[in-house]
Amino acid sequence: MRKIMLATAAMLTICSAAFAQSTVVVTDPAPTGSVVLPGEVRTYVMEQNTPSVVYDGEITVGTTLPDTIEVHTVPNADYAYTVVNERRVIVEPKTHRVIQVLE
């Protein structure tokens, strides 16, 4: 009887190890609501000498900037950018909604 219990315990251990190996954990590399920018877009925006504008609100992903803040399009990409409170932000060109804050 003891041999049967040991064999059963050994089988359960082996089965659980095999199950654990087949488990896949998926994580989102980007914060919720942000996008992963192509490297060329980030490089282009970081290299531009664009003056900063002052904005009283908080600049976070999802914030919609007022139309009074000028945004600049990124060539050959569906992104625009501006510099607000000394922070470079990527926005949707038509809505001015912040989609990423570059640090």
Q: Would 98 be classed as within a structural domain?
A: yes
Q: How far apart are the first and last CA of the chain?
A: 65
Q: How many CA atoms lie within 13 A of 18 on its CB side?
A: 6
CA 31/CA 48 separation, integer angstroms: 25
According to the model, what pLDDT value does residue 70 have?
Answer: 95
Q: Would 60 be classed as within a structural domain?
A: yes
pLDDT digits (tens, 9 = 90+) for 10-68: 565 555 554 444 433 333 344 455 578 899 999 999 999 999 999 998 999 999 999 99
Q: Would 15 be classed as within a structural domain?
A: no
Please state the pTM of the whole predicted model: 0.66
User: Radius of gyration of the chain from Cα atoms?
Assistant: 25
CA 22/CA 82 separation, integer angstroms: 45
Residue 32, both tokens: 């919720």
Task: Domain count for the chain, please give it.
Answer: 1
Q: Would 30 be classed as within a structural domain?
A: no
According to the model, what pLDDT value does residue 12 have?
Answer: 57
According to the model, what pLDDT value does residue 1 have?
Answer: 59
Q: Would 6 be classed as within a structural domain?
A: no
